[in-house]
């Protein structure tokens, strides 16, 4: 038996329940894993609320790190005792043990702890493909605008951007978050609740605007993000913390300067094995070498899952959140 967080209907954090569940043995292409730590991501709230559809009842969470206990038939490259991390479906990471497909698993270097991996695999791999793939013209010396720069993904994205030689303008909501973003390398800070983001961006870029905007907020920031772009810049819609992006007005894209909008999905950038290996290699190599620091701002027990989701949705978190098992 294992402890697991499940939900039988969509809704607020209160629909999450902690249960004892049977685990079973791994089937073909599957592994049995014992988690050391599990990631708690804003995307999890989308499944819980119903914004991302999922069959019910179901488990919760898509990111974890731990030890392989057993492997099923047809699994190659993994054996019992291997340290692994993952991000990907199916749901069910909020658990002490689980049987899951072997495909998403990545071997974890000994120098990376389970907590660090659970706090950063989804976020780190996401920030990596955002910065390395979504705007092919982005190059060293360019300036980017990064919303939620002190969030779990934001702090990692800042560091990756600096490794790539980019100038980073980050938006935050408080002095505390500004300090953390600056600590990780953010060059300029905009307090989005009291400043006009687009106006400040133009001021900081000599009126030109930025090459790329990485917007994980969505509805509330879309207009400002669009106006922050330079001619032929790219707006990357990374998330929708404030609600979905509005319908795209093609003429508005022309007026803004022939700009581009993309709404990327993790699965489309990690589906190809060669690209997956390239991106994962970049992330884990830099993490293992200490060139990237993972900030774990919150640690929870599985029993505190409801509070964890409340904290996420209230914007109370700084850096990454994990469940420690």
Complete domains list, the chain, with CATH? 2-120+294-324 (3.90.180.10), 135-263 (3.40.50.720)
> Which residues, at least 6 apart from 90, have a Cβ–Cβ distance to it below 8 Å?
59, 100, 101
Q: How far is it, in rounded angstroms, from Cα 119 to Cα 135?
A: 26
The torsion angles phi and psi of 165, rounded to 5 degrees, stand at 80, 25
pLDDT band at 295 (very low <50, low <70, confident <90, very high): confident
pLDDT of residue 311 exceeding 90: yes
Q: What is the dihedral of CA 278, 274, 168, 309, to 10 degrees?
A: -100
**Cβ neighbours of 101 (radius 10 Å):** 17
Q: What percent of the chain has pLDDT over 90?
A: 91
Q: How far is it, in rounded angstroms, from Cα 240 to Cα 292?
A: 25
Interval 22-42: pLDDT, tens: 999 999 999 999 999 999 999
Mean pLDDT of 201-212: 98
The per-residue pLDDT of the chain, averaged, comes to 95
Interval 132-143: pLDDT, tens: 999 999 999 999
pTM: 0.85
What was the pLDDT predicted at 241? 85
pLDDT band at 322 (very low <50, low <70, confident <90, very high): very high
CA angle 236, 43, 166 (to 5 degrees): 35
pLDDT of residue 117 exceeding 90: yes
What was the pLDDT predicted at 299? 97
Q: How far is it, in rounded angstroms, from Cα 148 to Cα 187?
A: 14
pLDDT of residue 89 exceeding 80: no
pLDDT of residue 73 exceeding 90: yes
Residue 224 carries which DSSP code?
H
Q: How far is it, in rounded angstroms, from Cα 255 to Cα 245?
A: 19
Interval 236-285: pLDDT, tens: 999 888 889 999 999 999 999 999 999 999 989 998 989 999 999 999 99
What was the pLDDT predicted at 242? 87
Mean pLDDT of 206-220: 96
Q: What percent of the chain has pLDDT over 70?
A: 100
């Amino acid at each position: 038996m294992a402890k697991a967080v499940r939900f039988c209907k969509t809704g607020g954090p209160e629909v999450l329940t902690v249960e004892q569940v049977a685990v079973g043995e791994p089937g073909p292409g599957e592994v049995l894993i014992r988690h050391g730590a599990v990631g708690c991501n804003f995307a999890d709230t989308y499944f819980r609320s119903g914004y991302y559809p999922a069959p019910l009842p179901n488990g919760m969470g898509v990111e974890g790190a731990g030890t392989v206990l057993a492997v099923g038939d047809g699994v190659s490259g993994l054996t019992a005792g291997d340290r692994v991390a993952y991000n990907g479906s199916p749901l069910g990471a909020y658990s002490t043990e689980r049987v899951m497909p072997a495909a998403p698993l990545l071997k974890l270097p000994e120098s990376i702890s389970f907590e660090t991996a659970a706090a950063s695999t989804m976020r780190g791999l996401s920030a990596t493909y955002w910065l390395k793939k979504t705007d092919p013209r982005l190059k060293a010396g360019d300036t980017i605008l990064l919303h939620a720069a002190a969030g779990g993904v934001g702090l990692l994205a800042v560091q990756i951007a600096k490794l790539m030689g980019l100038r980073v303008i980050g938006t935050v909501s408080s002095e505390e978050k500004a300090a953390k973003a600056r600590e990780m390398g953010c060059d300029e800070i905009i307090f989005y609740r009291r400043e006009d983001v687009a106006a400040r961006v133009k001021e900081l870029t000599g009126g030109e605007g930025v090459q790329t905007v990485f917007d994980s907020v969505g509805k509330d920031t879309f207009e400002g993000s669009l106006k922050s772009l330079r001619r032929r810049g790219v707006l990357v819609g990374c998330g929708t913390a404030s609600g979905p992006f509005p319908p795209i007005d093609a003429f508005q894209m022309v007026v803004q300067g022939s700009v581009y909008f993309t709404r990327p999905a993790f699965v489309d950038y990690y589906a190809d094995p060669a690209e997956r290996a390239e991106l994962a290699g970049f992330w884990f190599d830099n993490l293992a070498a200490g060139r990237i620091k993972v900030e774990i701002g919150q640690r929870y027990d599985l029993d505190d899952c409801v509070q964890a989701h409340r904290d996420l949705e209230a914007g109370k978190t700084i850096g990454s959140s994990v469940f420690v098992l």
